[in-house]
Structure 1
Amino acid sequence: MILATRLHALSAALFAVCLLASQAGEARDLADVLSSGQLRVGVYRDFPPYADKDAGIDVELAHALAGKLGVKADVRSYDADENMDDDLRNIVWKGTVLGPAVSDVMMHVPVDATMSRRNPQVRIFGAYHRETMAALRSTEMLHRMDTLADIERQPLGVENESIMSISLLSADGGRLRAQVQHFRSMDEARAALEAGQIAAFLGMRSQVEPMMAATGRRYTMSMPPALPGLPQAGWALGLAVGADDAALEKALQDALGALEQDGTLDRIFQRHAVTRMPPL
């Protein structure tokens, strides 16, 4: 009797897992979105200024896009995986058993031809911003920031596990490694800059601009020196939908164009102290 009860419980658990997996992989087209009255939008969890709980650039843009389609936005937060290929799989076309179900569209996707070819299960389109790297520095400690020699022997701040951290730690054979300090949040980094514990914070422009605004613009924003692995011109950010969702892609592209035309897109970025950079 006990064995039968255990087997029944195990079967129920397995059924629940399979059901979740099935739901996670459920994709929807434009007709499904419109009939449901909701656009399911995937954003990164804890990723200010783009997504931070129920606020951020990508969260606001999700609601604006859904509004243009005549539906409401169901914004879903996902943890970043090992790489963008994994994120596209988890958020757009396959899903995960334990995380949120697949979304109709994913925000903050690098619009890159190589990535598109590597991920035929999705359509990547709709570039809405160009992310670049920047630095916020104390001119008393760092008079200039044109070359690696300019930042030698000065304490530098970066975000934990960021592309800037990887680049600085590997630059010039690791010569700058002892100078690099890591921070979990931009608030911590700003406090260190204001206390004189670091000479500069280096990261994405979308991180640096809000930090500059929060300090009353008492520090200078600069381009960082050329560093390995960092594209000087930046990279475009856009959207991704499933490979079979051509109609949804077109509807979202049209909606994005309308938001750019009427100035909504720029205003969303401005509300978060970020300058929207048009993609090249």
Structure 2
Amino acid sequence: MLRNKLPNALISLVMGLLACEQAFARLYDDVMASGYIRMGIYQDFPPYSFMQDGQPAGVDVEIAKRVAAAFDLELQLHWIIPDENLEDDLRNNVWKGHYLDKDEDNPLAMKKLADVMLRVPYDKAYAYKQDSLGYLINEHVVMKAPYQQERWQVAYDSERLDAVRTVAVFQYEPIGVEVDSVPAFYFTSALQGRMRKMTRHYTHPREAFAAMQDGEVAAVMAMQSEIDWLLAQAGSDQYRLAENGFPTMGKQTWDIGIAIRQTDRQLGYAVEEVLDRMIRSGEMEQLFADYGLRYTQPEFYQVAKEALTEQH
């Protein structure tokens, strides 16, 4: 009798484990009924999300607060430590959970996932990217609701450089970049590699900017909002924005949106409505301005504005 019952017991155990793994993949109704929403934001990533004086701060933290308030829900922040690539971040924080993310007292405990993840590059080609067998790589998530357009930006020390009208100047003057970033690859390969010897690598843009302040480099390249933030923190006219333009770099601007599980598009639509209201009302632009940042609307809004202008 025991031998006959064993397969059923194993099946029940497997089903139970699967249920536990997916239990925190909450649907819209679950989120609204729970009284809280868990928003995924990157850890130690100013000016987007970071700790300041013991409190969460940054534009994405403020956006998360406004989303929670719009639904009259308590905000729970799900801090994300970036993995090797975006696919890993989506898997670990949106639809599956990290295999090390376990409760030591209860190994079968449910993994915590973000209901909504912020600061996800909004790119249709990437969203529908396929593997070698033709399967969607990101089939478990939906990337939508772009709320900002980001771009690359150079800041320079005006006591060392009169201006930066072309990147060719960095054949002779050192520039600081974040290690393993797009700027790092660009400055070590563009112009037939002639800027490689003048490229200095740092763990993050803050360290590169500090190196510029110490005279180690003449300029720094990072994302526009990061540069704006660092300039605002420096509070000195000595460090200025360069004219943008990076030949042969490829994509230099991109939209930022959210990611939700493929099974809960309803929550994504609801959050999208909140972000859309913030963009159209000017609240989003003001939020960025409060942190000393320039704000650029996503491509969709720019195209719509241009079309409306042409009609008139």
2:65 to 59, 63, 69: 63
Return the TM-score normalized by structure 1: 0.85
- Equivalent positions of 1:121-270 (< 5 A) are 121-215=140-234, 216-232=236-252, 234-270=253-289
Tell me which residue corresponds to 1:105: 116
Return the TM-score normalized by structure 2: 0.77
2:157 is aligned with what amino acid? S
Alignment check: 8 A CA contact 2:188 2:196 kept: yes
Which structure would you say has the larger Rg?
2
Equivalent-residue separation in structure 2 for 1:247 and 1:130 (angstroms): 24
Segments of structure 1 that go 5 or more residues without pairing to the other structure are 1-14
Alignment check: 8 A CA contact 1:145 1:151 kept: no
Q: 1:208 to 1:230 in 2, by over 3 A?
A: farther
- Equivalent positions of 1:4-43 (< 5 A) are 22-23=20-21, 26-43=24-41
- Aligned sequence identity (%): 32
Over the aligned positions, Cα root-mean-square deviation in angstroms equals 2.3
Segments of structure 2 that go 5 or more residues without pairing to the other structure are 1-12, 102-110, 130-137, 300-312
Alignment check: 8 A CA contact 1:24 1:101 kept: no
User: 1:34-65, CA deviations, whole angstroms, 9 ceiling, x for partnerless residues?
Assistant: 00011111111211111113221111111111
User: 1:155-205, CA deviations, whole angstroms, 9 ceiling, x for partnerless residues?
Assistant: 111123322112212223332222112233444333322333211111111
Equivalent-residue separation in structure 1 for 2:186 and 2:239 (angstroms): 23
Equivalent-residue separation in structure 2 for 1:80 and 1:24 (angstroms): 22
User: 1:43-97, CA deviations, whole angstroms, 9 ceiling, x for partnerless residues?
Assistant: 1121111111322111111111111111111111111122112211111111112
- Equivalent positions of 1:109-120 (< 5 A) are 109-118=120-129, 119-120=138-139
Q: 1:98 to 1:268 in 2, by over 3 A?
A: farther
2:264 is aligned with what amino acid? D
Q: 1:165 to 1:219 in 2, by over 3 A?
A: same
Task: Between the two structures, name the one with larger relative contact order (CA 8 Å, sep ≥ 6).
Answer: 1
Aligned length: 263
Alignment check: 8 A CA contact 1:38 1:74 kept: yes
